Structure 1
Amino acid sequence: MLKDFKPVLNILLRFIVIYLVLLFAYQFYLNSSKGGGLDSFSRMIAVQVASVQNATEFPTLLYDDVKNEQIWFYVKNNYVTRMVEGCNAISVMILFVAFVFAFYKGTKTYIFALAGLLLLYIMNLLRIVGLNIIMVDHKEYGKMFHDFIFPSSIYGTVVVLWLVWIKFFALKNENS
């Protein structure tokens, strides 16, 4: 009986192992940057968000709050939001990569994972830009967009990518 479930159990085990390895590696990275303010990846995203906003008529300055490990966005002369480690979408990217590699299909797995990570990175960048713009011009909608609209766009993108991976790549040979 267990033999019937072996493929599913292998995929599940691969997912769990990959997810835990990536999660622990990320935690190690975070621990290595403790005490120096916001981690360098999150800091890079904050700088890129400010660049996009400055290019789109939303003059932005960054205030680095090293002690509290955050960066404040100062947009149009107002402090509107802050960038913390959780805003960098790495946890979402780890989940995405673990799922894709659980259904490993050779070189195309790496290509799809990299393309998906790039798309998620861009989506996250635009999510933060969008939130800052909303907080400047329509603060009354800020909580709704922060808590519901933008998270659903990021997680929705992950689900669509997973569906594309399964339908067109991971199970393609089995359907033919």
Structure 2
Amino acid sequence: MKDLLTKYKLVIRFIVIFLVTYSVLTIAYNLYLSYSDGAKFYPDYLTNLVAKQTNSLLNGIGYDANIAAHPNEPSMKVIINGKFVARVIEGCNAVSIIILFLSFIVAFSGKFKTTLMYGLAGSIIIYTFNLIRIVILSIGLYHYPWRQEILHTVIFPMLIYGVVFLLWMFWVNRFSKSIKTNA
């Protein structure tokens, strides 16, 4: 058993650090959600911010877009040319994906400053890509509502997780101490 622990020390270290980081960030985020101010059917601040930024981007590229609080749930409705096309819910704000990204980066940490800066830059990239994803998804749902299932559950999740995967690979190959010490 001792030989196995010694042999797989780096793998075990990665798993433990990943799980601890993921748990701490998820608990912190859930505390944020539980203490978020707002009405019963009004989303948290970050979700509301994503909806407002989505609206600004849609209007910026020439669509007549509006957002409105959903009357029956904590979400924001995205409306293009008077047509309700999408809801922005808590899961659309990219925080859960950023938590997953950061947990991996910390588990494969490099120098502290590099890890901190890459985590921040990667989080901004993911957040920005997520906004663009919601804008394109809203436009797609406006023009091709019959493609909702494939757009929402296949193509756009594949794209956002693909970006996260590329950021992870760049991190591991360029900055991670764990890989460099094993090479």
TM normalised by structure 1 equals 0.94
Residue of structure 1 in register with 2:109 after alignment: 104
List runs of 5+ in structure 2 lacking aligned partners. Answer: none
The runs of at least 4 consecutive aligned structure 1 residues that moved more than 2 Å come to 171-176
Residues 55-100 of structure 1 deviation map (CA, whole Å, 9 limit, x = unaligned) = 1111111111265101101111101111111111111110000000
d(CA) in 2 for partners of 1:60 and 1:35?
23
Residue of structure 2 in register with 1:76 after alignment: 81
d(CA) in 2 for partners of 1:79 and 1:41?
21
Report the Cα offset of residue 136 of structure 1. 1.1
AA partner of residue 88 (structure 1): N
Residue of structure 1 in register with 2:30 after alignment: 27
Q: Which secondary structure does the structure 1 equivalent of 2:63 belong to?
A: coil
RMSD (CA atoms): 1.5
Residue of structure 2 in register with 1:123 after alignment: 129
Contact 1:89/1:124 (<8 A) preserved:
yes
AA partner of residue 59 (structure 1): D
Q: Which secondary structure does the structure 2 equivalent of 1:133 belong to?
A: helix
AA partner of residue 168 (structure 1): R
Q: How many residues align?
A: 176
d(CA) in 2 for partners of 1:84 and 1:143?
17
Contact 2:70/2:77 (<8 A) preserved:
yes
- 30-39 or 13-22: which moved more? 30-39
Residue of structure 1 in register with 2:66 after alignment: 61
TM normalised by structure 2 equals 0.91
d(CA) in 2 for partners of 1:107 and 1:55?
36
AA partner of residue 102 (structure 1): A
d(CA) in 1 for partners of 2:71 and 2:116?
36
d(CA) in 2 for partners of 1:54 and 1:142?
22
List runs of 5+ in structure 1 lacking aligned partners. Answer: none
Contact 1:81/1:132 (<8 A) preserved:
yes
Contact 1:35/1:67 (<8 A) preserved:
no
d(CA) in 2 for partners of 1:48 and 1:103?
32
d(CA) in 2 for partners of 1:65 and 1:79?
11
Q: Which secondary structure does the structure 2 equivalent of 1:68 belong to?
A: coil
Contact 1:100/1:109 (<8 A) preserved:
yes
Choose which of 13, 21, 27 in structure 2 pairs with 1:18. Answer: 21
